[in-house]
Amino acid sequence: MDLKDLFTVAHFIKTRCKHGLKAGATKEKNYVFFEVDIRDSKTRLQLCFLDKVEPSATIGEIKNLVYKNDPRLYPSRQALKLHPEGKALNDDDVLENLPVGTTATIFFEDLGPQFGWVMVFLAECLGPLFTYLLFYLRLPNIYEPQHDYTRSTFTVVRLACVCHTLHYFRMLVETIFIHRFSHGTMPLHSIMLICLYYWGFAAWQAYYINHPLYTVPYKLQTWSNKHIFLQLCEIGSFSINLVLNRIKCNGSRPGEIPYPTKNPFTWPFFFVSCPNYTYEAGVWLSFAVMTQCVPVALFAFLGFIQMSIWARQKHKMYIETFEDYPDLRTAIIPLFM
């Protein structure tokens, strides 16, 4: 390579570098940041002003910026809206895709103290477990004084206490060791309402089942439903939750279709999408027939309605997520719903 060729190469490199710098400068110059004005949804007062926010920033990332500005407002406590009375934005919503300008006003709502799902489930299970035992042991000021610290002589009453205790003990074990929870949270006031529902029903059921004037059901009725409760529904529910624990998940959505295993208690997966709810409904139906108690029957009925709603939602999600989802499956009751 002679001297002339060297000058030509040097000129080429110089020209490319010059154009590259210009292009980079132009790109930097035309890059637009967003300014986000966070205001209280009630008072309309400014809480903070976020400068130079990336257009691709999500609402979840904006919540983290608000949290850095005020450590008391952790992300799960925040609800961000485009209008003070509007619907809360999803954490996955991207700022530049929202109907706002480069100077965006977003309204903040404080959702109050939040608790994780593990705490919610523990509160749901521990309350009924100990509440029922208070009535079973007939502590003072529940029944007549002569019945304080006594126990019923009926076998069905003792059997009901064993079944009720084992059910909530199983749920505690599954909550701690088996269930996988999302990072979602629940506000304190919602937890209090849930506890009032579960604890209140447990007390109502226990009051009648352990009452000194309790009417004993037929022996066949008691023992047949005891087997359904313990040897079918409880074992079946535990088996289903073990299968669900091994399913891959993408966040809160399943990453694969759950299928039955060699364990026969998992075979309801052939027919329903949520056999855990099917077994749970069977638990309370058999317990209601076994104890012949109206509060238990009402609890079973209300629980079935709620679980049917959850099962339909999950069944719909499975169909939308997987194109090859089995057509034979229904939500909660085989071949029906």
Of the listed ranges 12-26, 146-160, 167-181, the least confidently predicted one is 12-26
Q: Identify the band that residue 248 occupies on the pLDDT scale cut at 50, 70 and 90.
A: confident
Residue 172 CA to residue 121 CA, distance in Å, equals 8
Is 6 part of any domain?
no
Whether residues 204 and 123 fall in one domain? yes
Boundary-marking domain end, from 112, 141, 159: 112
Residue 46 CA to residue 283 CA, distance in Å, equals 52
Residue 108 sits in a domain of what CATH number? 3.10.20.90
- In this structure, what DSSP letter does residue 231 have? I
Whether residues 260 and 131 fall in one domain? yes
Q: If we measure between CA atoms, which residue out of 111, 107, 68, 65 comes closest to residue 89? A: 107
Q: Identify the band that residue 188 occupies on the pLDDT scale cut at 50, 70 and 90.
A: confident
Q: Do 246 and 266 form a contact (C-beta atoms < 8 A)?
A: no
pLDDT at 21: 40
- Structure token digits, residue 127: 């309350």
> Who's near 332: CB < 8 A, 6+ residues apart?
272, 273, 274, 277, 278, 281, 307, 308, 311, 312
Is 317 part of any domain?
yes
pLDDT at 258: 93
Q: If we measure between CA atoms, which residue out of 104, 106, 167 comes closest to residue 132? A: 167
Q: Is 158 helix (H, G, I), strand (E, B) or coil?
A: helix
Is 211 part of any domain?
yes
pLDDT at 301: 97
Q: Which domain holds residue 249?
A: 115-321
Q: Which of 83-87, 95-99, 268-272: highest mean pLDDT?
A: 268-272
pLDDT at 219: 93
Whether residues 98 and 139 fall in one domain? no
Angular region, 101: left φ>0, alpha ψ -120 to 50, beta rest: beta
Query: Does residue 72 register a pLDDT over 90?
Result: no
Whether residues 50 and 61 fall in one domain? yes
Report how far apart, in Å, the C-alpha atoms of 250 and of each of 74, 126, 182, 258, 273 are.
23, 30, 10, 14, 18
Is 168 part of any domain?
yes
Whether residues 98 and 141 fall in one domain? no
Q: Based on the structure, what is the number of domains in the chain?
A: 2
Whether residues 270 and 184 fall in one domain? yes
Q: If we measure between CA atoms, which residue out of 230, 188, 209, 191 comes closest to residue 299? A: 209
Whether residues 128 and 105 fall in one domain? no
What is the residue-averaged pLDDT of the chain? 88
What backbone phi and psi angles, to 5 degrees, belong to 233? -75, -45
Q: Do 153 and 213 form a contact (C-beta atoms < 8 A)?
A: no
Whether residues 122 and 204 fall in one domain? yes
Pick 174 or 7 by higher pLDDT: 174
Query: Does residue 182 register a pLDDT over 70?
Result: no
